[in-house]
């Protein structure tokens, strides 16, 4: 299992930052490697909403279905995999001066054996790059909301 944690601040009110990240249509725009994030339930946010996710990791394409298991408006979004590649993501939002601190945790589980080691050799170097690029994208895009 791998865990990546990252924190950043943006000079935009928390409700706007939360709304941007919570809008499933924005996810491929800011989340590095995600090429598809589409609802598979009628609900598109809140507990119980589910999304089909496609993520490009180097030459490999990973698919997953994630479900929102915790959701507190302007505070928390937690997604867990229910099918496919096992990855859980938690977003926390707190006021930071005139802006918002965004904390994200991405936890993934690789399969065992040779397949898991091969996938790990792709995912682990990708993860650091993905976090840095996602942070850069998010700060740039959310800053436009100010």
Q: State pLDDT tens for residues 83-126.
A: 998 889 999 999 998 899 999 998 877 656 655 565 566 566 66
Mean pLDDT over residues 120-146, rounded?
A: 77
CB 108 within 8 A of CB 114: no
CB 21 within 8 A of CB 91: yes
- What pLDDT, in 10s, does the model give residues 29-86? 998 889 999 999 999 999 999 999 998 877 778 899 999 999 999 999 999 999 998 8
Confidence bin at 129 (pLDDT 50/70/90): confident
Phi-psi region of 113 (alpha: psi -120 to 50; beta: other; left: phi over 0): left
For 115-133, the DSSP string reads HHHHHHHHHHHHHHHHHHH
Q: What are phi and psi of 97, to 5 degrees?
A: 65, -130
Identify the pLDDT of residue 144. Answer: 87
CB 90 within 8 A of CB 102: no
Q: Which token pair is 29?
A: 């725009």
The predicted model scores a pTM of 0.87
Identify the pLDDT of residue 126. Answer: 65
Identify the pLDDT of residue 109. Answer: 74
Residues 6+ positions from 53 with CB-CB distance below 8 Å: 34, 36, 37, 63, 64, 65, 66, 84
Identify the pLDDT of residue 120. Answer: 61
Identify the pLDDT of residue 51. Answer: 98
CB 73 within 8 A of CB 56: no
- What pLDDT, in 10s, does the model give residues 23-33? 999 999 998 88
């Amino acid at each position: 299992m791998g865990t990546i944690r990252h924190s950043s601040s943006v000079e935009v009110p928390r409700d706007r930052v939360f709304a941007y990240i919570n809008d499933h249509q924005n996810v491929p725009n800011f989340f590095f490697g995600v090429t598809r994030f589409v609802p598979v339930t009628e609900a598109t946010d809140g507990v119980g909403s589910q999304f089909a996710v496609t993520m490009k990791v180097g030459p490999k394409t990973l698919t997953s279905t994630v479900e929102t298991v915790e959701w507190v408006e302007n505070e928390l979004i937690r997604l867990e995999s229910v099918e496919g590649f096992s990855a859980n993501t938690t977003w926390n939002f707190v006021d930071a001066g005139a802006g918002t601190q965004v904390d994200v945790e991405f936890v993934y589980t690789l399969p065992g054996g040779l397949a898991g080691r091969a996938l790990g050799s792709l995912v682990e170097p990708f993860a650091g790059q993905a976090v840095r690029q996602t942070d850069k994208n998010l700060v740039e895009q959310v800053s436009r909301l100010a």
